[in-house]
Amino acid sequence: MTTTLFTPNDAAILLIDHQVGTMRWAASTPFEELKTRALALARGAKSLEMPLVLTSSLEEQAQGPLLSDFADIAPEEYAGRIRRQGAVDALQDPAFAAAVEATGRRNLIVAGVTNDVCTVYPVLTALRQGYRVQVVADAGASITKDADDIALRRMERAGADITSTNQVLAELAADWASPSGQKVLPIMFDLIPA
């Protein structure tokens, strides 16, 4: 496993199924914390001019719509989100797979609303396909803490790096005095608990 850090120039951010209904089922992390972290990743992608791919599953059913806040942060990506019709592994959906491929990036930063369903399967597929993957564990959750821990261990054993929102944003910034660092700092400050 390599320890080369990801940069804004070689990584893409994938946000999977941060939908209002599903977020309420992800009980291992409070709704507002989950929302804040997912939106911070989107803000980071846009601020650093990185590819951002959004996807949802069955928005018209109990999973509900994708967080509308994404429309304010990334209107083009929100409008062009991949609306899957049932594929649990997002990378088994041809449109999502094509959108990921179109980024031209082999380093993927992935956060799914539920680590034990929405995140684990596309991460395992991406690893099999030769991508390097960082899983932003705290921008996802699971129905239970045990389910979350099991999913994170499974992805790590398969070769994914497990990270946090703060950690991955700091990695992308690299230097607080740099232009990238200055763009990321306000996002980081918004993540500090009041």
- CA-to-CA distance for 62 and 50, rounded, in angstroms? 31
- The first and second tokens of residue 108, run together, are 């993927």
- CA-to-CA distance for 144 and 87, rounded, in angstroms? 22
- The first and second tokens of residue 28, run together, are 């291992």
Q: Distance of CA 84 to CAs 13, 16, 52, 156, Å?
A: 18, 10, 17, 26
Residue whose structure tokens are 């650093």 = 48
- CA-to-CA distance for 51 and 106, rounded, in angstroms? 12
Is 181 labeled as catalytic in the residue annotation?
A: no
Catalytic option among 42, 73, 113, 118: 118
> What per-residue string of b and e applies to 163-193 under the rule 16 or more CB within 10 Å gives b?
bbbbebbbbbbeeeeeebbebbbebbeeeee
Residue whose structure tokens are 């914390």 = 33
92: helix, strand or coil: helix
Which residues are marked as active site?
A: 118
